[in-house]
Amino acid sequence: MLNETLFVGSEALPELAKIAVRPTISQVIVLVDANTARQCMPLVAPYLPAGYRVVEIPAGEEYKTLLTCETLWADLTTHHADRYSLVINVGGGVVTDLGGFAAALYKRGIGFVQVPTTLLAQVDASVGGKTGVDFQGFKNQLGVFQQPLAVCIEPRFLQTLDPRQLKSGYAEVVKHWLIADAEAFTRNRYIGVLGIDDWTPIIKESVALKQQIVEQDPLESGLRKLLNFGHTVGHALESYLLQQPGREILHGEAVAAGMVCEAWLSYQKGLLQAEELEQIESFLFSVFEKVQFVGLETEAIAEFALQDKKNAGSTINCTLLNGIGQGVYDQPVTLAEIAQALQYYHRL
């Protein structure tokens, strides 16, 4: 069951309208990127109060930086935004992460609402109160935990996405199945992304699972680390390729590769059966194209894992699988093991 601040489906934008006209709100600022300004604002605008202001930022992971935050902070300062102002973030994971982070820091915190427009943001990035920006090439290196006033998920936004973006978000759905819902994985592993006509039930199911975990561990001191399955290797791969012009990949594509690598690590450590590893690999490769890199790059990619936020000192902590549907967190792995996992993936 979803909590009272999370709305999915036809009720989402009407609930946004109710929040935006609360008498305690002094002004409304809408953060968009170049894509959502064109494709999504026409659907959102009728639900906004008169006098709202739009701040547009460039689209793309490369703009998820402190410098881009300054665009929003400058607007808020120029227009004398006070602590009763409301920021509405309309976009994918870059917009919701960055907008939430900027709102959390402005005047020590102003209210914000997440209106995620990609599948990735709807099932993962906008839910759970994580905000952040990239720094010096490392994913989400700077960030705070700050819960939004609400998350308003309208599945109609998914009609604006190309298949590659849909697949990217689907990776996080699959992750939720692998760490906590073996039955859903079994039920859905023969269905490709393009075979899904109505995303609402999948979004609700996936968000409810994540929300259940987050409510038990809001600051990621234990159980919430399960949600990082695929991300230790995935973030390392994504960060490495982000620094290689022309080789950038989407977050979900990196996570899908990371899930293959971390499933293999689970198998190597005796946690996952060979049959289960094969099921995971065959399903993921039926949806996602293989991420391309050369074998000589594996050690350089693995080095990025040293910056993973789950680490304790020099120990790299990874979330692995103790069977499909049963994630286990704080599993120590070495740089050499991560490089070996990447080599395994490269050879597949």
Q: Of 61, 154, 220, 337, which one is the catalytic site residue? A: 220
Q: Of 4, 108, 275, 347, which one is the catalytic site residue? A: 108
The H or E element spanning position 119 is helix 119-120
Mean pLDDT of 248-255: 96
Residue 7 pLDDT greater than 80, yes or no: yes
Residue 1 pLDDT greater than 70, yes or no: no
Q: Of 64, 139, 204, 231, which one is the catalytic site residue? A: 231
Residue 194 pLDDT greater than 70, yes or no: no
The reply to whether CATH 1.10.10.410 applies to domain 6-160 is no
Q: Which residue has the higher pLDDT, 21 or 315?
A: 21
Tens-digit pLDDT profile for residues 202-243: 999 999 999 999 999 999 999 999 999 999 999 999 999 999
pLDDT band at residue 191 using 50, 70 and 90 as cut-offs:
confident
Mean pLDDT of 73-90: 98
Q: Of 204, 235, 310, 346, which one is the catalytic site residue? A: 235
> Which range (52-61, 73-82, 311-320) has the least confidence?
311-320
Mean pLDDT of 230-258: 95
The mean of the pLDDT values for the chain is: 94
Residue 188 pLDDT greater than 90, yes or no: no
Contacts 24+ apart (CB under 8 A), 188-194: 189/279, 189/283, 192/286, 192/287, 193/163, 193/166, 193/167, 193/287, 194/163
Residue 307 pLDDT greater than 80, yes or no: yes
Mean pLDDT of 253-259: 98
Q: Of 139, 167, 175, 210, which one is the catalytic site residue? A: 210
Distance CA 214, CA 211 (A): 5
Give the single-character DSSP code of 290.
Answer: P
Distance CA 58, CA 73 (A): 15
Q: Of 139, 224, 225, 346, which one is the catalytic site residue? A: 224
Q: Of 228, 238, 276, 310, which one is the catalytic site residue? A: 228
Residue 144, SS3? Answer: strand
What integer pLDDT is reported at residue 5 of this predicted model?
Answer: 92
Distance CA 201, CA 208 (A): 11
- Known catalytic membership, residue 108: yes
- Known catalytic membership, residue 251: yes
- pTM for the model stands at 0.91
- Known catalytic membership, residue 210: yes
Distance CA 148, CA 99 (A): 10
Residue 311 pLDDT greater than 80, yes or no: no
Tens-digit pLDDT profile for residues 141-181: 999 999 999 999 999 999 999 999 999 999 999 999 999 99
Work out the percent of the chain whose per-residue pLDDT is above 90. 90
- Known catalytic membership, residue 220: yes
- Known catalytic membership, residue 231: yes
Domain ranges of the chain: 6-160, 166-347
Q: Of 130, 176, 189, 346, which one is the catalytic site residue? A: 130
- Known catalytic membership, residue 228: yes
Q: Of 139, 189, 251, 310, which one is the catalytic site residue? A: 251
**Phi, psi (rounded to 5 degrees) for 130:** -85, 130
- Choosing among 1.10.540.10, 3.90.120.10, 1.20.1090.10, 3.40.50.300, the CATH entry for 166-347 is 1.20.1090.10
Tens-digit pLDDT profile for residues 153-164: 999 999 999 999
Distance CA 140, CA 132 (A): 5
